[in-house]
Amino acid sequence: MIWVGRVYNFEHPLLGQCLIHHRHTNTNITTLIIMGILNIGLVTSAVYLLGAWAAYLVLLVFYRLHLHPLRRFPGPKKAAATGWYSAYWDLYVGGQMAKHLVDLHKEYGPIVRFEPNHLHFSSPEVYSTIYSSTSKLTKDPNLYLSFGAPESVFTLLDPAIARTRREVISPMFSRRMVLSLQPLISGKIRKLCDKLSGYADRDEAADIVSGFRSASIDIITQYCYNECLDSLDVEGFKHDIVLTIKATSQSFWFVKYFSLADWILTLPTKVTLRLLPELKGFVDLRESIEEQVKRYMKNPSLLEKSSHPTVYHRFLDPEVKGGIPSASSLSDEAQNLFFAGSDTVGTTLGFGTYYILATPGLQEKLFAEICEVWPVLEEEPTYEHLEKSAYLTAVIKESLRISHGTVAPLSRVVPASGMTIQDQPIPGGTVVSMDAPTLHLNPTIFPSPDTFLPARWLDSNAKDLENVQQRTASMYWIKVTTPPNISSLDFPGANDDSLAWAELYIAFATVFRRFEMAVWETSKEDMEWIDCFTPCSKGELKVKFKIRRE
């Protein structure tokens, strides 16, 4: 016992007395006493550790409030003290930090410190400083590594590597390529209309957003992989991948703040689906993409059977700039193109449709304008012909504004040397960002910003509004979802028309030319958006249809 006491340094008077008296007492009693003292020691140690931790937190908060390099920037004290301020708005309130930032700018001005090391800006002219294609700022890993695809052009942190990767993808979405895809786009939208006609015949309401998303999914998978998912064939627009997009979008912030995406997706498939069964569609898609990658990397000659260039043609070209990517990188890229080419398109069509139907007289005005370029129902106009409709173009631009594209702040990290933003010196390592809602809901730029007003894009100051959308173009995720004549600062070659822009023209024109629609059992509150990185409505948009016979 003396040896044990020396080894563990049991410096305690009571223990000494017990050891001296040991030969005259029962060994079991001595053991019990020593165990009790050990317990006292553990409790004391725990108290010391908790005290040290509390002291550390106090000092950390003091440093962030009074000594941190960003202490001079305005913002809530709670936000400066802890990152859990943002987590409260995103996790507890539910995807509301982006909206809260609008209120913070009203209170604190054009620069707000809303996290201990994060500044948010609201002035339009700052956008090109942060997101220019030549910018030396890097993407914030805390945000971009939350998507479970770290090697895609969207999530690559190094801007130089990402720029090279974008140059490889860009030709897939040139105007020439998009024009050649008109039969594919029109065919899928007609198929969607056939499904909606069934709802009209049965006098049933359809979840139109899921319908739009299903069509976009079939277009992007047919084009990018030459293997369509045929999600439009599933009754009620309830393909597993459509349900997955809905379910996982609303869990984005939980994944971001707790960094679970990579870990969950590395588990065996059965374990992953037991933990999160709503991921089935995504897991199936990911496995399908990985199987495609293995097949084409093993035998590139299989690509010769495709009727059009796919993502695999671009990246498996021996002369591709930057070299052929690894299998994991190519899988990430294919996954990224899927979500970029389906989610935001479906969202824009959904929010635009709601506001058109909810605004008295707007549906009939749009129908009349479409009839100007599409007088005979059976004679579908080309995409180039639809572009000539000024009012349809204005409706699409307003739909893009009101749906925002990407609503989360796209965070970037200032280089170690620091930089000047809005005449303010910003220390190296600071996270800086902007977001689309802050600009799109700015009443100085867009009067009555909460009102759906396509006419604003036809006024004499429409050029100024287009300049704002030009600055925010890359907030529509990546180049495949940027409008024409709007230079995406996050994607080279964005002056070419995008696949998504063609989808918006053809889908809006076809659906509103063929159907008279009415919102069914959907309230304004149902269509309020929450920040799930992209905007997600709180409820479903249910619509009833009447077939136009003329």
CATH code at position 306: 1.10.630.10
* Burial state string for 354-367 with b = 16 or more CB within 10 A and e = fewer than 16: bbbbeeeebbeebb
Structure tokens given for 132: 């220019």
User: Within a domain: residue 71?
Assistant: no
Separation of alpha carbons 258 and 327, rounded Å: 27
Separation of alpha carbons 216 and 240, rounded Å: 15
Same domain, residue pair 107 and 176: no
Separation of alpha carbons 495 and 484, rounded Å: 6
Q: What was the pLDDT predicted at 12?
A: 40
Separation of alpha carbons 256 and 87, rounded Å: 10
Structure tokens given for 241: 């991948």
- The total number of structural domains in the chain stands at 3
Same domain, residue pair 97 and 179: no
User: Within a domain: residue 326?
Assistant: yes
User: Within a domain: residue 72?
Assistant: no
Same domain, residue pair 259 and 231: yes
Q: What was the pLDDT predicted at 29?
A: 60
Same domain, residue pair 62 and 82: no
Residue 58 parent element (H or E): helix 27-66
Close Cβ partners of 60 (under 8 Å, ≥ 6 residues apart): none
Same domain, residue pair 230 and 342: yes
Same domain, residue pair 158 and 305: yes
Sign of the torsion formed by the C-alpha atoms of 169, 174, 176 and 179: positive
9 sits in the region (left: phi over 0; alpha: psi -120 to 50; else beta) called left
Q: What was the pLDDT predicted at 62?
A: 94
Separation of alpha carbons 163 and 390, rounded Å: 34
Separation of alpha carbons 275 and 57, rounded Å: 34
Q: Shortest CA distance to 425 belongs to which of 433, 437, 417, 434?
A: 417
Same domain, residue pair 7 and 86: no
Cα distances from 172 to residues 213, 310, 335, 361, in angstroms, run 21, 8, 16, 39
Q: Shortest CA distance to 365 belongs to which of 338, 386, 392, 341?
A: 392
Domain of 273, in residue numbers: 130-547
Contact 143, 165 (CB under 8 A): no
Q: Collapsing DSSP states into helix, strand and coil, what is residue 132? A: coil
- The domain boundary, picked from 122, 143, 159, lies at 122
Separation of alpha carbons 541 and 412, rounded Å: 34
User: Within a domain: residue 47?
Assistant: yes
Which stretches of the chain score pLDDT less than 70? 1-41, 250, 259-262, 265, 460-497, 550
Q: What was the pLDDT predicted at 487?
A: 30
Cα distances from 232 to residues 2, 46, 91, 215, in angstroms, run 79, 59, 33, 6
Same domain, residue pair 97 and 205: no
Residue 409 parent element (H or E): none
Close Cβ partners of 59 (under 8 Å, ≥ 6 residues apart): none
Same domain, residue pair 464 and 364: yes
Q: What was the pLDDT predicted at 202?
A: 96
Same domain, residue pair 201 and 83: no
Same domain, residue pair 249 and 398: yes
Residue 505 parent element (H or E): helix 499-514
Q: What was the pLDDT predicted at 8?
A: 33
User: Within a domain: residue 358?
Assistant: yes
Separation of alpha carbons 541 and 475, rounded Å: 24
Q: What was the pLDDT predicted at 231?
A: 95
**The tokens 């942190």 sit on which residue?**
157
Residue 506 parent element (H or E): helix 499-514
User: Within a domain: residue 206?
Assistant: yes
Q: What was the pLDDT predicted at 107?
A: 96
Q: What was the pLDDT predicted at 22?
A: 43
> Which residues is 31 bridged to in the sheet?
none
User: Within a domain: residue 520?
Assistant: yes
| pLDDT tens column, 505-541 | 999 999 999 999 999 999 999 999 999 888 999 999 9
Q: Measured over all CA atoms, what is the biggest interatomic distance in the chain, rounded to whole angstroms?
A: 111
Sign of the torsion formed by the C-alpha atoms of 370, 375, 377 and 383: negative
Q: Shortest CA distance to 530 belongs to which of 539, 521, 522?
A: 539
Same domain, residue pair 398 and 531: yes
Q: What was the pLDDT predicted at 173?
A: 83
User: Within a domain: residue 150?
Assistant: yes
Contact 511, 542 (CB under 8 A): no
Q: Collapsing DSSP states into helix, strand and coil, what is residue 320? A: coil
Q: What was the pLDDT predicted at 182?
A: 93
Contact 81, 120 (CB under 8 A): no
